[in-house]
Amino acid sequence: MQAKAFNFIPFKLSSPAVKLPPAQAISFPDHVARPDISIATPNPQVSTSIDDEKVAAYWDYQFLFVSQRSETDNPVTLRIVEGSIPTDFPLGTYYLTGPGLFRDDHGSTVHPLDGHGYLRAFTIDGVKGDVTFMAKYIETAAQVEEHNRETGEWQFTHRGPFSVLKNGKKIGNTKVMKNVANTSVLKWGERLFCLWEGGAPYEIDSKSLDTIGKFDLIDGLVDDSLSTSSSFGDIVDFAASILKPILYGVFKMPPKRLLSHYKIDASRNRLLMMSCNAEDMLLPRSNFTFYEYDSNFKILQKQDFTIPEHLMIHDWAFTDSHYILFGNRIKLDILGSMTAVCGLSPMISALSVNPSKSTSPIYLLPRFSEHEGGRDWKVPVEAPSQMWVLHCGNAFQETDQNGHTQIQIQASSGSYKWFNFHKMFGYDWQTGKLDPSMMNLNDERGNILLPRLVQVSINLDATGNCEKCCVNPLNDEWDRSTDFPIINTDFGGSNNTYVYAATSSGLRRELPHFPFDTVVKFDTVKNSTRTWSVGARRFIGEPIFVAKGSDEDDGYLLVVEYAVSKQMCYLVILDAKKVGETDAVVARLEVPKHLNFPLGFHGFWAPKRS
């Protein structure tokens, strides 16, 4: 069955109108299922014209978000176009999830964060020297409703938190919490899950990629009653009592939002997860619950914390003694709330960032009962700079003989001036188009506003009180936009030397900061960096570390290369020790053109257990 095509029309660039250069149409053979796109692309001839660069940059950015409707029935062996698979490569599968569909067959588009989850799997066998590929949509309740499997037609009926339907029920549509399972993927205890920021994970068959169904990790652990506490005042409690039946009943939001970012404590062989209360998104208080599981999903401990601030948490960190939360401050937008409830703007319009303070709160929450004494955990450590933290790479602590503790946290931090709920990825909900300039902003002084990697150091005295908190670049001379920090997961929660991340070479004048085109390796001991780049008109996603030996950087890096000029995807294997050297690439494998997929979010390496 062929997938339907649509015309993707660019929205108006923020710069003066420019004339598109001669174009050629993308075509697909009749027997090949194709992405739902049929557009004109710039002539591949190189031009030094600024206007031509703007056009080329615009189209290159669009191609990163081209919908892919094709799925695989059986594993496809990838063609090796460079190098070879090393025989000592550990047998296992690299899972990558992200949105796969951005436009239906009735004229509605959605924000990338609302795109249906599309799971990709690369199974690597070093002994056989091959890699097989599979990709399927995660059959969430919303996906089953919006996709007709017999005809292949898609029709969006759920608004999603970040989108507005142009053709479909808009006014009075309470289908907001569109669990698309598109944000992260996890294999734990031999079970595979795809996660989203606001609902239960979906379990997936790890071999066929067929969807098994929802897996409620916190079922039976949540108090679903509509009662409220009186910890933070009658007004907030009264507001919560009104919001709960509306959010739970009308908008079908789960009482607790399980976050998509999890942590693995390798030393204890534990899975750590965190949830928030649904109503906290609209109230000046935040309720966080942490869960720790063994390999059989037995709950080992559960802890609840209530903080009197309006915060948004996407990622977090842990040490032997603490759960660590960077408090991204938000506030309720009254006008946005009214238009969102009426269906005239996305539901996320109800919120905006709150840059009212020049400092950033960091909450050090006691992980175990023996750490509950000392300082009041409700009082945050105030970092001296304003940070909007997206992702945490690692955190660890060291205590000296006098009981003084130093906590180190590695994270990606952006500016409040850049972060905008309405325009993430440059999406314009009114036109349904993507503007790459939003992801490439500088401030009035030319400073980068997008995330960069920082190291936060917190010194605590023997009673747990903060003596000093400072924020520095992870590398003193590294000033490029950088995100998706990852480490060798065996070192999670312990002192690590190396951090890997996606960054930009800065060589493209019109796309200086994003999309990323470079892998960077930080050596935190030597205060040095080494890089590997994909080249012109090629971009990358999040790198993943695959451990091979006992040394921290003894292993391989997996990263997907998006060659937008050719509309192809490649799986690239790098030698982690050789990043920065001419022979860093171990192998590059080509994904068949008809299975070219859009930019992914987060991935997971799952070694095959013997």
Q: Is residue 467 part of a domain?
A: yes
Domain enclosing residue 371, as ranges: 23-607
User: What's the one-letter identity of residue 535?
Assistant: G
Domain-located, residue 376:
yes
Annotated binding residues for Fe cation, written as ranges, equal 314, 391, 602
Q: Which residue has the higher pLDDT, 7 or 555?
A: 555
Q: Is residue 382 part of a domain?
A: yes
Q: What is the pLDDT of residue 430?
A: 87
Q: Would you say residue 122 lies in a domain?
A: yes
Q: Judge whether 412 lies within some domain.
A: yes
What size, in residues, is the chain? 610
Q: How far is CA 418 from the centre of its chain?
A: 17
Distance CA 425, CA 163 (A): 13
The amino acid present at 166, given as its one-letter code, is K
Which is nearest to 276 in space by CA: 360, 362, 199? 199
Confidence of residue 498 (pLDDT cuts 50, 70, 90): very high
Nearest to 572 by CA among 554, 590, 596, 555: 590
Q: Which amino acid is present at 119?
A: L
Residue carrying the six token digits 């999830």: 97
Question: Does residue 254 or residue 182 have the better pLDDT?
Answer: 182
pLDDT over threshold 70, residue 135: yes
Which pLDDT does position 500 carry in this prediction?
Answer: 98
3-class secondary-structure state, position 280: helix
Predicted local confidence at residue 374, as pLDDT:
72
- Residue 19 pLDDT exceeds 70: no
Q: Quick one: pLDDT at residue 371?
A: 63
Residue 3: pLDDT above 70? no
Q: How far is C-alpha 339 from the chain's CA centre?
A: 27
Q: Which residue has the higher pLDDT, 52 or 168?
A: 52
Order of strands, edge to edge, in the sheet holding 466-473?
A: 388-399, 405-414, 452-460, 466-473
pLDDT at 195: 97
* pLDDT value for 85: 97
Measured distance CA(9)–CA(486) in Å, rounded: 36
Q: Measured between alpha carbons, how far is residue 426 from residues 113, 169, 436 in Å?
A: 12, 25, 6
**Each residue of 328-385: pLDDT tens digit?**
999 989 888 888 877 788 889 989 999 999 999 999 999 997 766 678 899 999 999 9
| 250 within domain boundaries | yes
As a whole number, the mean pLDDT across the chain is 86
**Residue 199 within a domain:** yes
Distance CA 454, CA 469 (A): 13
What is the pLDDT at residue 243? 52
| Residue position matching structure tokens 């109503």 | 279
User: Residue range 16-29: average pLDDT?
Assistant: 33
> Does pLDDT of 137 surpass 60?
yes
Asked whether residue 22 carries a pLDDT value surpassing 90, the answer given is: no
| pLDDT-derived band at 24, boundaries 50, 70, 90 | very low
Instruction: Confirm if 347 and 176 have CB atoms less than 8 A apart.
Output: yes
Give the tens place of pLDDT for each residue, 205-233.
Answer: 999 999 999 998 886 444 433 333 445 55
Residues near 446 by Cβ (< 8 Å), separated by ≥ 6? none
Instruction: Specify the pTM.
Output: 0.89
Q: Decide: helix, strand or coil at residue 380.
A: coil
Q: Which residues contact 3 (CB under 8 A, 6 or more apart)?
A: 33, 34, 35, 36, 69, 70, 152
Strands (E), 138-221: 184-188, 191-195, 202-204, 211-214
**Burial class (CB within 10 angstroms; exposed 0-12, middle 13-18, buried 19+) of 247:** buried
Q: What pLDDT sits at residue 124?
A: 98
Asked if residue 592 has a cis previous peptide bond (ω within 30° of 0), the answer is no
Q: Please, which residues have CB within 8 angstroms of residue 314's CB and are 6 or more apart in sequence? A: 197, 259, 261, 328, 389, 390, 391
Looking at the chain, the whole-number percentage of residues with pLDDT higher than 70 is: 84
- Nearest alpha-carbon partner for 111 in 176, 59, 57, 54: 176
The answer to whether residues 486 and 498 touch, using CB atoms and an 8 Å cutoff, is no
Q: How confident is the model at residue 2 (pLDDT cuts 50, 70, 90)?
A: very low
Comparing CA positions, the residue from 150, 95, 91 lying closest to residue 126 is: 91
pLDDT (tens digit, 9 = 90+) per residue, 400-436?
A: 999 999 999 999 999 999 998 888 999 998 888 899 9
In a domain, 8, yes or no: no
* Numbered residues of the known binding site: 314, 391, 602
* Domains in the chain, number: 1
Structure tokens, 257: 């939002």
Please state the φ and ψ torsions of residue 143, each to the nearest 5 degrees.
-65, -40
At residue 199's C-alpha, the angle toward residues 242 and 303, to 5°, is: 80
CB of 362 closer than 8 Å to CB of 324: yes
Give the mean model confidence (pLDDT) for residues 437-446: 90
Tell me how many degrees the CA angle 317-193-278 measures, rounded to the nearest 5.
Answer: 60
pLDDT in tens, 470-483: 999 999 999 999 99
Quick: pLDDT tens for 541-558: 999 999 998 899 999 999
Across the range 301-314, mean pLDDT stands at 93
**Buried b / exposed e across 205-241, counting CB within 10 Å, b at 16+?**
ebeebebeebbebbeeeeeeeeebeeebeeebbebbe
Of the pLDDT bands very low, low, confident and very high (cuts 50, 70, 90), residue 237 is: low
- Per-residue pLDDT at 253: 63
Q: The tokens of 278 are what? A: 């649904």
Partner residues linked to 571 by β-bridges:
560, 589
